[in-house]
Amino acid sequence: MKRKTICVIDGQGGGIGSTIIKKLKLVFGESIEILALGTNAIATSQMLKAKANRGATGENAIVNTVRRVDVIVGTMSIVLANAMMGEVTPKMATAVAGSTAPKYLLPLSQENVIMVGVTGDPLPHLVEELVDVRLHHILNDL
């Protein structure tokens, strides 16, 4: 049986993506493949240090990879053109939003976007819910 592929996308310092990857590895081990896609080399490097299986950097890598993964994970910024101080290009945001893969987006953003009805839970709590509740459910259904 083919391992499920989860794509974690992050930018800037890669801290959020690294946190997600560490939790995914803790819960799922090698039963899944984790692809680290960084909007810059530092983010990719940090996610690879967190034990992603493979990594790539930049617009072309993101645009091409999101077409063939089972699940996409990141902050809501990955679907906002020009987010992360311009690191998320319009082409990246369009490719992520247009991917047929389910997208699990954490409601964290430095952009001027407010998600109404979303709690202000800290990152560790959001990652717990993402991995322990949401991804357990979807990975069992794929």
**For residue 35, what is the domain's CATH number?**
3.40.50
d(CA 66, CA 39): 13
d(CA 53, CA 8): 11
Q: Is pLDDT above 90 for 62?
A: yes
Q: Which domain holds residue 80?
A: 4-141
Q: Is pLDDT above 90 for 41?
A: yes
Stronger pLDDT, 19 or 135, i.e. the higher one: 19
Stronger pLDDT, 35 or 142, i.e. the higher one: 35
Stronger pLDDT, 73 or 139, i.e. the higher one: 73
d(CA 81, CA 84): 9
Q: Is pLDDT above 70 for 141?
A: no
* Backbone φ, ψ for residue 72 (5° rounding): -115, 135
The C-alpha torsion from 142 through 71 and 25 to 33, rounded to 10°, is 80
Give the position of tokens 């839970």: 121
Tell me whether residue 26 is exposed, middle or buried, using C-beta atoms within 10 angstroms of its C-beta: 0 to 12, 13 to 18, 19 or more. Answer: exposed
The count of domains in the chain is: 1
